[in-house]
């Protein structure tokens, strides 16, 4: 998967679920009611430890919270955002490795082991087949089953909800918009058709700095996941409000400029920088390398060691 898309996944997911308010409502509205009754969601506290290794990072982003369960039990609630648009094979194996990292750290820190509730957040096109771990094994009986790890995970599949159901389910505007965008991310036409419904609470969000940060992460996600046609989105955003349209234009232009700069090939960077050092004019460099004036201006702003770092 495209690294920029993974990063935009990460950013949106972390912005959306780094606040206790959003996570509390998300868990309360999506977990089985009997489980929710035993969770003291007031005690939710984010765990900033990084439990994702390089292998798992290509599949998931994560946000982890500590929480009280019942009277005196501490647990971890791990939200894992599935990057791919199709289900992974053997998710139990990946989740088991993830949970082991949590428990190994607790042992190292001489803490009690805590139960972990893994949540897989999935918004792909293909249906997720939620199997028990033992179902992956063939030819086993009850005698063998006791030697196979047995645990479950909470699956949140956005295809289980319609847009209207998401709007009715969540009161938090940031959570509502985030869920709607992630659900529809692979259907750009649907996003454009229902943009007023999806972003109904946007004007309220844009009144705060945090809301603007959230909107920037949404636009970045759309930019890298949909092959965004800026003009189409701008026209649609302006039907929500002039402010929404202007914010969208500003963020989209920044992302486009960044993409153009990052798109300069390594070889061209070397040649252009060498020509700059030898005193070639801007027009000569542009003509010979094919760089734009903006890209050349960017390269001229860098020091020699910065060029070396970018090339590496």
Task: Classify residue 255 as left (phi > 0), alpha (psi -120 to 50) or beta.
Answer: alpha
Task: Compute the distance between CA of residue 57 and CA of residue 60 in angstroms, rounded to an integer.
Answer: 5
Task: Compute the distance between CA of residue 41 and CA of residue 150 in angstroms, rounded to an integer.
Answer: 26
Confidence tier at 311 by pLDDT (50, 70, 90): very low
Comparing 8 with 105, the larger pLDDT belongs to: 105
Task: Compute the distance between CA of residue 270 and CA of residue 299 in angstroms, rounded to an integer.
Answer: 10
Residue 305 pLDDT greater than 60, yes or no: no
Residue 307 pLDDT greater than 50, yes or no: no
The per-residue b/e assignment along 57-85, b for 16 or more CB within 10 angstroms, e otherwise, is eebbbbbbbebbbeeeeebbbbbbbbbee
Task: Compute the distance between CA of residue 157 and CA of residue 166 in angstroms, rounded to an integer.
Answer: 12
Location of structure tokens 């957040």? 121
Pairing, β 154-157 against β 116-122: parallel
Number of structural domains found in the chain:
2
In this structure, the answer to whether residues 125 and 273 fall within a common structural domain is no
Q: Does a structural domain hold residue 248?
A: no
Please identify, among 92, 125, 160, the residue that sits at the C-terminal boundary of a domain: 160
CA angle in degrees (0–180, nearest 5) for 131-39-101 = 55
Least confident of 43-52, 115-124, 268-277: 268-277
Q: Does a structural domain hold residue 198?
A: no
pLDDT value, residue 310:
43
pLDDT value, residue 280:
86
User: Comparing C-alpha atoms, which of 158, 73, 169, 149 is closest to residue 120?
Assistant: 158
Domain coverage including residue 125:
3-160
Q: Does a structural domain hold residue 31?
A: yes
Please identify, among 141, 160, 179, the residue that sits at the C-terminal boundary of a domain: 160
Helices marked H in the chain — which ranges?
3-17, 20-30, 33-38, 54-57, 91-108, 142-145, 163-169, 173-184, 188-193, 195-198, 202-205, 209-226, 230-240, 242-262, 266-277, 282-289, 293-300, 304-311
Q: Is 21 helix (H, G, I), strand (E, B) or coil?
A: helix
Comparing 25 with 207, the larger pLDDT belongs to: 25
Please identify, among 134, 160, 186, the residue that sits at the C-terminal boundary of a domain: 160
Confidence tier at 261 by pLDDT (50, 70, 90): low
Q: Report the 3 state secondary structure along 79-129.
A: EEEECCCCCCCCHHHHHHHHHHHHHHHHHHCCCCCCCEEEEEEECCCCCCC
CB neighbour list of residue 66: distance below 8 Å, 6 or more residues apart:
43, 44, 45, 46, 47, 74, 75, 76, 77, 114
Please provide the size of the chain in residues. Answer: 312
pLDDT value, residue 260:
56
Q: Does a structural domain hold residue 133?
A: yes
Helix axes 293-300, 266-277, angle to 10 degrees: 70
The answer to whether the pTM exceeds 0.85 is no
HSE-up of 55 (CA within 13 Å, CB side)?
7
Residue 20 pLDDT greater than 90, yes or no: yes
Mean pLDDT of the residues in the chain: 86
Task: Compute the distance between CA of residue 94 and CA of residue 53 in angstroms, rounded to an integer.
Answer: 10
pLDDT value, residue 56:
82
Provide mean pLDDT across the span 157-171. 95
Residue 242 pLDDT greater than 60, yes or no: yes
Q: Does a structural domain hold residue 126?
A: yes
Residue 134 pLDDT greater than 60, yes or no: yes
Least confident of 34-38, 173-177, 205-209, 226-230: 226-230
In this structure, the answer to whether residues 149 and 274 fall within a common structural domain is no
In this structure, the answer to whether residues 156 and 9 fall within a common structural domain is yes
Q: What is the pLDDT of residues 290-301, one digit of tens each?
A: 777 767 776 776
Q: Does a structural domain hold residue 226?
A: no
Task: Compute the distance between CA of residue 140 and CA of residue 296 in angstroms, rounded to an integer.
Answer: 65
Pairing, β 39-47 against β 60-69: antiparallel
pLDDT value, residue 285:
84
Q: Does a structural domain hold residue 37?
A: yes
Q: Does a structural domain hold residue 220?
A: no
Provide mean pLDDT across the span 164-190. 93
């Amino acid at each position: 998967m495209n690294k920029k898309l993974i990063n935009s996944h990460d950013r949106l997911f972390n912005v959306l679920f780094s606040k206790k308010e959003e996570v509390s409502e998300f868990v309360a509205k999506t977990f089985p009611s009997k489980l929710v009754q035993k969770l003291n969601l007031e005690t939710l506290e984010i765990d900033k430890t990084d439990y994702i290794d390089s292998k798992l990072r290509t599949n998931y982003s994560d946000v982890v919270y500590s929480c009280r369960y019942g009277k005196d039990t501490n647990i971890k609630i791990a939200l894992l955002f599935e990057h791919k648009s199709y289900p992974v094979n053997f998710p139990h194996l990946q989740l088991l490795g993830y949970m082991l990292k949590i428990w190994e750290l607790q042992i190292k820190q001489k803490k009690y082991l805590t139960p972990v509730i893994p949540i897989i957040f999935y918004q792909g096109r293909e249906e997720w087949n939620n199997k028990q771990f033992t179902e992956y094994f063939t030819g086993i009986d009850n005698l063998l089953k006791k030697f196979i790890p047995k645990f479950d995970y909470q699956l949140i599949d956005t295809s289980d909800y319609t847009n209207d159901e998401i709007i009715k389910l969540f009161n938090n505007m940031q959570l509502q918009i985030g869920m709607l965008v992630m659900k529809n991310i692979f259907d750009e036409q649907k996003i454009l058709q229902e943009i007023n419904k999806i972003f109904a609470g946007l004007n309220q969000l844009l009144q705060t700095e945090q809301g603007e940060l959230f909107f920037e992460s949404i636009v970045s996600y759309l930019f890298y996941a949909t092959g965004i046609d800026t003009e189409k989105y701008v026209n649609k955003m302006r039907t929500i409000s002039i402010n929404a349209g202007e914010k969208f234009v500003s963020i989209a232009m920044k992302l486009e400029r960044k993409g153009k700069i990052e798109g300069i090939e390594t070889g061209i960077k070397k040649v252009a920088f060498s020509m700059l050092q030898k005193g070639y004019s801007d027009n000569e460099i542009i003509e010979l390398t094919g760089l734009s004036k903006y890209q050349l201006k960017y390269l001229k702003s860098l020091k020699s060691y910065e060029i070396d770092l970018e090339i590496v």
